[in-house]
């Protein structure tokens, strides 16, 4: 057994905490992608390694979908090809994130054990033939998967290329909620552990309603498709259980590989973004040695660089500020959106550097070489169908050079004065059915505030409820519908200690069991905000109500009364004319604002100006519209990332050396249209 602290293969940056784990032997920033050599003849595999060296690739994920190649028939193992692949990569100095090969069970397994197949809420079986056709809770699948992970770990424990374990792949990507019999049984066990008695479960679920009282936990089912809304707390608990069950599966595989390789860090690729809500990644992050995530922009999203920034900030939050791995993104088009537009010139480089700017110390892709067969043959890769005479390949080479030039950035940290409180449970709960308005979604306000701050060059930390808020000057609490008492108290304390806190409508409404906090909304934040709402008044689709300054609101208003707060904006028309839409209360040395109605973009922009004015929070640099600025802080230098998302050259005030070109600038730095600079300061 090797001690990770003294293992020469563990390349830890200066100043990193003692338990910092990173793919062993990766020097500088990690660069590479998923590598699926089992799809290619030897000749191509030989070329792969040469091209990887040309591009500066130093880390690849191998064997993610290799189970059926390794074990084509039960008990018949073919490892020779994988031995050769790892040997070749090692000889070329390329480190390997080795997968457990469990992400897609081979056909013989599901044919022989159809009971391991997952089910949808209406009972539909998800058959073999795609991927991820397994139920994480099924003991038979667990046995086979853990055995495969252990077998691979045993075989490659001492392989010199092994840098990191990559457990399964995007666990929960296709089947975040499984309603199979195995899942139902595991759900009941989870409930027994959570509640102890059936009475406690009945209380938590409010089963006096609609004759739902259980006499025995054995009668509980997952929230199947029912004649009408299934019990909301049952649904919420099923969300919690499902996240825990998938994590439990991860843990089993992790422990199986750790047993053989305690010196090798372990991760699994998360999907931290504003569209994946199935897994509570704040909890999951406690179980990985290093946070890794996959992120794909949506071509039809005109603000995709802003969504990317928020997702990257969320990943840094999930990683609790430590460097993380971008395990997958795309060089150009994907294959799974309705219209798969390629990336625009410079977009791949800007996307990559935006992740690095926000804390990624590795940039990787799905995938190394574009497949010619299978469902992902139209998904871009680092080596495209067109071969090396292509923009995509030149982009791959260019990014390799850029990351090499940025090697010293590794280990530096992002700092922010603004915290945005984010909670997966609140996301699950607020989007349950039978609510006041279908137009209230979890990410809407979060994206809106983050966007306003992104436009102003202000960096935001995304933090979990209950996080230490000390030092943040501005704390944003968007749509925290479900909140625990202690978490609401921490937010209140932040205001008392001098922060400006902003809470948006439909926050603080229910406790952890999804029971309303009575006595006037928003129960948990009523006192902090100095307001009391007697009734919600959501608006109809497309309806707008004017405010007293000529701006407007849509989606949401409420009959809110002042109870210590001051009205900053009021509704100017409609049945609630004169009712506050935005309020402020001074709290100790801080303040608490309440967005009681959904402000339009102009009103929100004015609010954010006021918030930055009162908190004196500064941007990373004064940048023109469309130019993204973020700073990382190292032990000796800081690094200003400037990403120009516009078609014109711009200048940004900065002093120092652009690491990408080696040019030193004084006073201001030119940033080419669609380009990027990274300035080493100080
Ligand atoms: C996910 C998966 C990959 C691949 C990509 C395509 O991220 O992990 O295997 O399917 O999507 O975008």
If you average pLDDT over residues 158-177, what whole number do you get? 98
Q: Which of 35, 270, 292, 294 for mutating ligand 1's site (highest number of atoms within 8 Å of CB)?
A: 294
Helix or strand run (H / E) with residue 609: helix 601-615
* Atom 12, ligand 1: residue with shortest CA distance: 334
If you average pLDDT over residues 435-458, what whole number do you get? 98
Quick one: 74 and 134 in the same domain? yes
Half-sphere exposure of 364 (CA within 13 A, CB side): 26
What's the CATH number where 653 sits?
2.60.40.1180
Q: Is the CB of 379 under 6 A from ligand 1?
A: yes
What percentage of the chain's residues is helix, strand, coil (to nearest 5)?
A: 35, 20, 45
Q: Which of 615, 640, 669 is a domain's end point?
A: 615
Report if residue 240 sits inside a domain.
Answer: no
Q: Is the CB of 579 under 6 A from ligand 1?
A: no
Quick one: 403 and 424 in the same domain? no
Per the CB < 8 A criterion, the answer to whether 107 and 128 are in contact is: yes
Q: Measured in angstroms, how far is the CA atom of residue 552 from the centroid of ligand 1?
A: 41
Report if residue 356 sits inside a domain.
Answer: yes
Tokens found for residue 541: 């689709």
Helix or strand run (H / E) with residue 312: helix 304-318
Q: Is 535 a catalytic residue?
A: no
Bridge-based pairing state of the strands 413-414 and 627-633: antiparallel
Report if residue 19 sits inside a domain.
Answer: no
Q: Is the CB of 366 under 6 A from ligand 1?
A: yes
Q: Where do the DSSP E strands lie in 350-468?
A: 360-365, 413-414, 418-421, 460-463
- The string of pLDDT tens digits covering residues 224-252 is 999 999 999 999 999 999 999 999 999 99
Q: Measured in angstroms, how far is the CA atom of residue 254 from the centroid of ligand 1?
A: 21
Q: Is the CB of 169 under 6 A from ligand 1?
A: yes
Q: Is the CB of 347 under 6 A from ligand 1?
A: no
Q: What is the number of structural domains in the chain?
A: 3
From 71, 305, 307, 328, active-site residue: 328
Choose among 388, 321, 399: nearest CA to 33. Answer: 399
DSSP state of 218: G
Report if residue 442 sits inside a domain.
Answer: yes
Cα gap 257→148, rounded to integer Å: 10
Identify the band that residue 1 occupies on the pLDDT scale cut at 50, 70 and 90.
very low
Q: Which of 130, 170, 333, 369 for mutating ligand 1's site (highest number of atoms within 8 Å of CB)?
A: 170
Quick one: 422 and 343 in the same domain? no
If you average pLDDT over residues 287-298, what whole number do you get? 98
Report if residue 576 sits inside a domain.
Answer: yes
Q: Specify which residues 567 forms β-bridges with.
A: 583
Q: Is the CB of 334 under 6 A from ligand 1?
A: yes
- The string of pLDDT tens digits covering residues 373-421 is 999 999 999 999 999 999 999 999 999 999 999 999 999 999 999 999 9
* Atom 3, ligand 1: residue with shortest CA distance: 366
Q: Is the CB of 331 under 6 A from ligand 1?
A: no
Domain of residue 108, residue span: 30-177+265-409
Q: Is the CB of 168 under 6 A from ligand 1?
A: no
Q: Measured in angstroms, how far is the CA atom of residue 175 from the centroid of ligand 1?
A: 14
Q: Which of 590, 615, 640 is a domain's end point?
A: 615
Q: Is the CB of 296 under 6 A from ligand 1?
A: yes
From 71, 170, 307, 595, active-site residue: 170
Percent of the chain with pLDDT over 90: 97
Give 283-288's long-range contacts (Cβ < 8 A, gap of 24+): 283/243, 283/244, 283/247, 284/243, 284/247, 284/250, 284/318, 285/318, 285/319, 285/320, 287/247, 287/250, 287/251, 287/254, 288/254
Quick one: 432 and 550 in the same domain? yes
Q: Is the CB of 514 under 6 A from ligand 1?
A: no
DSSP state of 454: H
Quick one: 649 and 527 in the same domain? no
Residue 8: per-residue pLDDT: 38
Quick one: 462 and 573 in the same domain? yes
Q: Measured in angstroms, how far is the CA atom of residue 168 from the centroid of ligand 1?
A: 12
- Residue 16 scores a pLDDT above 60: yes
What's the CATH number where 368 sits?
3.20.20.80
Label residues 32-53 b or e (16+ Cβ within 10 Å = b).
bbbbbbbbbeeeebeebbebbe
Residue 7: per-residue pLDDT: 43
Residue 2: per-residue pLDDT: 38
Choose among 254, 258, 406: nearest CA to 323. Answer: 406
Quick one: 65 and 120 in the same domain? yes
Q: Measured in angstroms, how far is the CA atom of residue 351 from the centroid of ligand 1?
A: 17
Average pLDDT score, the chain: 97
Q: Measured in angstroms, how far is the CA atom of residue 382 from the centroid of ligand 1?
A: 14
If you average pLDDT over residues 89-103, what whole number do you get? 98
Choose among 447, 427, 479, 419: nearest CA to 604. Answer: 447
Identify the band that residue 13 occupies on the pLDDT scale cut at 50, 70 and 90.
low
Cα gap 125→455, rounded to integer Å: 46
- Residue 3 scores a pLDDT above 50: no
Q: Is the CB of 332 under 6 A from ligand 1?
A: no
Q: Measured in angstroms, how far is the CA atom of residue 228 from the centroid of ligand 1?
A: 35
Rama region for 392: left / alpha / beta (φ>0; ψ in -120 to 50; rest): alpha
Report if residue 214 sits inside a domain.
Answer: no
Quick one: 566 and 454 in the same domain? yes
Report if residue 105 sits inside a domain.
Answer: yes
Helix (H, G, I), strand (E, B) or coil at 263: coil
Q: Is 170 a catalytic residue?
A: yes
Q: Measured in angstroms, how far is the CA atom of residue 132 from the centroid of ligand 1?
A: 12
Q: Which of 615, 643, 672 is a domain's end point?
A: 615
Quick one: 602 and 462 in the same domain? yes
Cα gap 232→238, rounded to integer Å: 10
If you average pLDDT over residues 427-452, what whole number do you get? 98
Quick one: 312 and 451 in the same domain? no
What's the CATH number where 435 sits?
3.40.50.880
If you average pLDDT over residues 513-518, what whole number do you get? 98
Report if residue 574 sits inside a domain.
Answer: yes
Q: Measured in angstroms, how far is the CA atom of residue 366 from the centroid of ligand 1?
A: 6
Half-sphere exposure of 81 (CA within 13 A, CB side): 18
Quick one: 430 and 386 in the same domain? no
Quick one: 36 and 153 in the same domain? yes
Residue 6: per-residue pLDDT: 40
Q: Is the CB of 244 under 6 A from ligand 1?
A: no
pTM of the model: 0.97
Residue 4: per-residue pLDDT: 38
């Amino acid at each position: 057994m090797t001690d990770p602290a003294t293992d020469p293969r563990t390349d830890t940056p200066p100043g990193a905490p003692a338990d910092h784990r990173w793919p062993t032997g990766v020097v500088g920033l990690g660069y590479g992608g998923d590598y699926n050599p089992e799809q290619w003849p030897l000749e191509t595999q030989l070329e792969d390694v040469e091209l990887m060296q040309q591009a500066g690739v130093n880390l690849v994920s191998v064997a993610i979908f290799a189970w059926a190649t390794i074990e084509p028939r039960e008990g018949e193992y073919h490892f020779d090809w994988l031995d050769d692949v790892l040997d070749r990569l090692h000889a070329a100095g390329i480190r390997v994130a080795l997968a457990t090969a469990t992400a897609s069970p081979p056909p013989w397994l599901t044919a022989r054990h159809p009971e391991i197949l997952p089910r949808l809420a209406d009972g539909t079986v998800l058959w073999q033939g795609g991927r991820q056709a397994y139920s994480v809770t099924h003991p038979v699948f667990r046995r086979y998967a853990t055995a495969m992970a252990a077998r691979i770990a045993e075989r490659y424990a001492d392989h010199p290329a092994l840098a990191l374990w990559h457990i399964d792949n995007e666990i929960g990507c296709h089947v975040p909620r499984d309603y199979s019999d195995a899942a139902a049984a595991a759900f009941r066990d989870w409930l027994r552990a959570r509640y102890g008695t059936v009475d406690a479960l009945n209380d938590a679920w409010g089963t006096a309603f609609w004759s739902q009282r259980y006499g025995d936990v054995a009668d509980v089912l997952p929230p199947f498709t029912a004649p009408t809304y299934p019990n909301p707390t049952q649904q919420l608990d099923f969300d919690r259980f499902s996240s825990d069950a998938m994590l439990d599966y991860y843990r089993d595989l992790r422990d199986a590989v750790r047993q053989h390789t305690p010196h090798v860090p372990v991760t699994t690729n998360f999907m931290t973004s504003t569209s994946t809500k199935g897994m509570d990644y704040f909890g999951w992050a406690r179980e990985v040695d290093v946070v890794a995530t996959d992120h794909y922009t949506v071509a039809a999203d005109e603000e995709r660089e802003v969504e990317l920034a928020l997702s990257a900030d969320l990943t840094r939050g999930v990683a609790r500020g430590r460097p993380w791995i971008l395990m997958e993104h795309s060089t150009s088009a994907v294959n799974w959106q309705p219209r798969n537009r390629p990336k625009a010139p410079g977009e791949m480089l800007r996307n990559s550097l935006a992740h690095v700017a926000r804390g990624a110390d590795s940039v990787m892709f799905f995938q190394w070489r574009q497949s010619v067969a299978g469902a992902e043959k139209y998904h871009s890769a680092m080596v495209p169908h067109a071969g090396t005479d292509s923009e995509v390949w030149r982009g791959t080479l260019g990014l390799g050079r850029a990351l090499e030039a940025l090697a010293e950035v590794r280990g530096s940290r992002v700092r922010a004065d603004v915290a945005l409180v984010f909670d997966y449970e609140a996301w699950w709960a607020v989007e349950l059915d039978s609510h006041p308005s279908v137009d209230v979604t979890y990410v809407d306000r979060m994206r809106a505030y983050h966007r306003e701050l992104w436009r102003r060059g202000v960096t935001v930390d995304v933090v979990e409820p209950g996080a230490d808020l000390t030092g943040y000057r501005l704390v944003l609490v968007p749509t925290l519908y479900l909140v625990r008492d202690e978490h609401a108290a921490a937010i209140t304390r932040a205001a008392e200690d001098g922060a400006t806190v902003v809470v948006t409508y439909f926050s603080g409404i229910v406790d952890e069991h999804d029971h309303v906090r009575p006595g006037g909304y928003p129960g948990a934040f009523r006192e902090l905000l100095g307001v009391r709402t007697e009734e919600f008044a959501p608006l109809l689709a497309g309806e707008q109500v004017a405010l007293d300054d000529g701006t407007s609101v849509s989606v949401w208003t409420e009959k809110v009364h002042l109870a210590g707060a001051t009205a900053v904006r009021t509704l100017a028309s409609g049945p609630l004319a004169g009712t506050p839409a935005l309020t402020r209360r001074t709290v100790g040395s801080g303040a608490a604002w309440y967005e009681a109605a959904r402000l339009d973009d102009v009103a929100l922009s004015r609010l954010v100006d006021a918030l930055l004015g009162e908190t004196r929070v500064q941007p990373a640099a004064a940048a023109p519209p469309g130019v993204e600025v973020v700073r990382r802080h190292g032990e000796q230098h800081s690094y200003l990332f400037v990403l120009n998302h516009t078609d014109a050259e711009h200048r940004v005030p900065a002093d120092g050396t652009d690491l990408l070109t080696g040019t030193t600038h004084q006073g201001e730095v030119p940033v080419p249209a669609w380009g990027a600079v990274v300035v080493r300061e100080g």
